[in-house]
């Protein structure tokens, strides 16, 4: 198993922000991951989990213990006429492309999403009116509390908008099966191309970001990006963290941003949106690492369903 010591976690994230971890491990098989978790739990060592590194903000402070990166769990296999299985670390565009070559439809919305299978299930990733829970057949997890491998169906999980009851600190996604439908490769590719073009035209895909900053609020019939756009927040900056000029719901790293810059900017956006529209925007970005109370407030005040691994200090 590949292991790196005293290495910056930020290089493995899409925002390129993150402090130094004691150790970063890259298991390439389920057996390696289970063996690693057994060691970490038996020694009571702190650990955290990342996939493709999107939709997370890693603290710029040192990250205690071991960071487990699941991108080595990257197998895909067709196991039935309309059924695919994929490891937790498979990147979503690769999975979508694989399905299209088999003339299997249902994953076109994954085109351009920079996450992995594991993160897509935990976050119920989606786009263009579709989401992961709609195509999920089963998910295989390592249940930390029960210390056994379980196979769950969508009926065992509560899915919502960019959220699920899957807790990655208790249930580590190992692999998943997806139910597809047959179509022509040409038709599938046409939809994928349209989805990718829409993303290119509306999002800062070439910039360093974690993806959408906020979930769309259910209180208002208006996307978070539209709310922020009406307020006029594009190009707002704190340090080297800046609201994108392309899409107001994206914060980009201009090159030297740290997690404190991003938290301060997010807090500023939340306060302004609350003043203007009486809505508290909930971050779609999840935290990992050690954050001060003044930084962590952007999550703790807004989202009581938070289940990511992070530490709050005074």
pLDDT digits (tens, 9 = 90+) for 92-145: 999 999 999 999 999 999 998 989 999 999 999 999 899 999 999 999 999 999
Instruction: Report yes or no on 198 lying in a domain.
Output: no
How far, in Å, CA of 252 to CA of 14, rounded?
10
CA distance 200 to 212: 14
Residues 67 and 104 in one domain: no
- Domains: count for the chain: 3
Residue 158 has pLDDT above 80, yes or no: yes
Range of the domain at 143: 76-189
95 and 80 both lie in a single domain? yes
Q: Is the pTM of this model over 0.85?
A: yes
Q: Which residues pair with 240 in a beta bridge?
A: none
Instruction: Calculate Rg over the CA atoms of the chain.
Output: 19
Helix/strand/coil for 271? helix
308 and 225 belong to one structural domain = yes
Task: Assess contact for 66 and 24: CB atoms under 8 A.
Answer: yes
Residues 86 and 25 in one domain: no
Taking 70 as the threshold, does the pLDDT of residue 184 lie above it? yes
Q: Clarify whether residues 250 and 304 are in a common domain.
A: yes
- Return the structure tokens found at 214: 């906020």
pLDDT at 308: 53
Rounded to 5 degrees, φ, ψ at 32 are -65, -40
* Together in a domain, 166 and 84: yes
Domain assignment of residue 66, yes or no: yes
- 68, pLDDT greater than 90: yes
d(Cα 302, Cα 19) in Å, to the nearest integer? 25
Domain of 15: which CATH number?
3.30.43.10
SS3 156: helix
- Clarify whether residues 291 and 212 are in a common domain: yes
| Residue 265 belongs to some domain of the structure | yes
CATH code of the domain covering residue 278: 3.90.78.10
The residue whose two tokens read 């040192």 is 62
Q: What is the pLDDT of residues 201-250, one digit of tens each?
A: 999 999 999 999 999 998 888 999 999 999 999 999 999 999 999 999 99
Q: ∠ CA(56), CA(165), CA(64), 5° rounding?
A: 40
181 and 210 share one domain: no
Q: Are strands 76-80 and 104-105 parallel, antiparallel or unpaired?
A: unpaired
Residue 146: partners with Cβ closer than 8 Å, 6 or more residues away: none
The angle that helices 259-277 and 224-231 make with each other, rounded to 10 degrees, is 80
* Average of per-residue pLDDT values in the chain: 94
Residues 41 and 87 in one domain: no
Residues 173, 101 share a domain: yes
Q: Which of 19, 52, 72 is at the close of a domain? A: 72
Of all residues in the chain, the percent with pLDDT exceeding 90 is 90
Q: How far is it, in rounded angstroms, from Cα 90 to Cα 125?
A: 14
- 312, pLDDT greater than 80: no
Question: Looking at 72, 97, 123, which one is the last position of a domain?
Answer: 72
Does 82 share its domain with 184? yes
> What pLDDT is recorded for position 220?
87
Specify the length of the chain in residues: 314
**Residue 249: inside a domain, yes or no?**
yes
The CA-based dihedral angle spanning residues 219, 220, 224, 228, taken in that order and rounded to the nearest 10 degrees:
-120
- 195 within domain boundaries: no
Q: Provide the token pair at 176.
A: 């998943």
User: 169 and 261, same structural domain?
Assistant: no
Checking if the pLDDT of 42 tops 90, the result is: yes
| pLDDT > 70: percent of the chain | 97
For residue 87, give the CATH number of its domain.
3.30.465.10
pLDDT value at position 303? 65
For the cut 90, the answer to whether the pLDDT of residue 175 exceeds it is: yes
pLDDT for position 161: 87
**Last-in-domain residue among 72, 97, 115:** 72
pLDDT in tens, 247-301: 999 999 999 999 999 999 999 999 999 999 999 999 999 999 999 999 999 998 8
pLDDT at residue 302 tops 90:
no
- In the predicted structure, residue 314 carries a pLDDT above the cut 60: no
């Amino acid at each position: 198993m590949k292991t790196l010591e005293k290495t910056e976690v930020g290089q493995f994230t899409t925002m390129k922000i993150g402090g130094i971890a004691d150790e970063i491990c890259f298991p390439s098989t389920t057996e390696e991951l289970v063996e690693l978790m057994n060691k970490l739990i038996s020694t009571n060592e702190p650990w955290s989990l990342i996939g493709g590194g999107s939709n997370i903000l890693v603290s710029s402070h040192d990250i205690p213990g071991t960071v487990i990166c699941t991108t080595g769990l990257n197998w895909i296999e067709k196991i039935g006429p309309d059924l695919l299985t994929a490891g937790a670390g498979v990147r979503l565009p690769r999975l979508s492309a694989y399905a299209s070559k088999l003339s299997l439809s249902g994953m076109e919305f994954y085109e351009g999403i920079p996450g992995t299978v594991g993160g897509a299930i935990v976050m119920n990733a989606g786009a263009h009116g579709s989401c992961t829970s709609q195509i999920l057949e089963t998910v295989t997890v390592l249940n930390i509390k029960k210390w056994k491998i379980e196979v769950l169906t969508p009926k065992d999980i509560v899915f919502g908008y960019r959220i699920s009851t899957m807790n990655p600190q208790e249930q580590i996604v190992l692999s998943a099966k997806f139910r597809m439908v047959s179509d022509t490769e040409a038709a599938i590719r046409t939809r994928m191309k349209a989805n990718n073009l829409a993303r290119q035209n509306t999002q800062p895909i070439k910039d360093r970001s974690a993806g959408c900053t906020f979930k769309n609020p259910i209180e208002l019939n208006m996307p978070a990006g539209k709310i922020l756009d009406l307020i006029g927040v594009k190009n707002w900056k704190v340090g080297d963290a800046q609201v994108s000029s392309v899409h107001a719901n994206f914060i980009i790293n201009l090159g030297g941003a740290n997690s404190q810059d991003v938290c301060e900017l997010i807090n500023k956006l939340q306060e302004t949106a609350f003043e203007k529209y009486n809505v508290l925007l909930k971050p779609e970005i999840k935290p990992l690492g050690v954050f001060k109370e003044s930084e962590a407030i952007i999550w703790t005040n807004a989202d009581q369903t938070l289940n990511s691994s992070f530490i709050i200090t005074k």
